Amino acid sequence: MADLFMKKGLLVRDVLGSYKNGDVYKKDGVSKKRLGHYKNGEIYTKETLFSRDVVAYYKDHELYKKKGLLSKEILAYYKRGRIYKKTGLLSEEVLAYYDEKNEEGAAAAAFFLLKL
């Protein structure tokens, strides 16, 4: 299980939540609460036999929502262990960090845990 976390110092991590095998979790005391799922470029909350409630998408290091047939609203970017937003042409704001094993899971976890 991989974690999405904030850095509180050089070695201290504040874990926001976890992701594994297509599911995103938030620690709720001793137990874990499942927030949603991710698979094949889609982030969704519920899945039935024939449909999914898709809330966002991820592809090519972008986390986004579709606004129309061809347009999209970029929520954040993910690359090299960081979830970030661009604040200017050359500047960016780091929102969270992740272990580089599963970038897609980190994007889904960022959507649910950072309330993007």
Q: 75: pLDDT confidence band, cut at 50, 70 and 90?
A: very high
| Residue in 47, 35, 74 with CA at minimum distance from that of residue 58 | 74
C-alpha–C-alpha distance, residues 64 and 51, integer Å: 20
The answer to whether residue 29 scores a pLDDT higher than 80 is no
73: amino acid identity, one letter: E
Q: What is the mean pLDDT of the chain?
A: 88
C-alpha–C-alpha distance, residues 34 and 44, integer Å: 12
pTM: 0.83
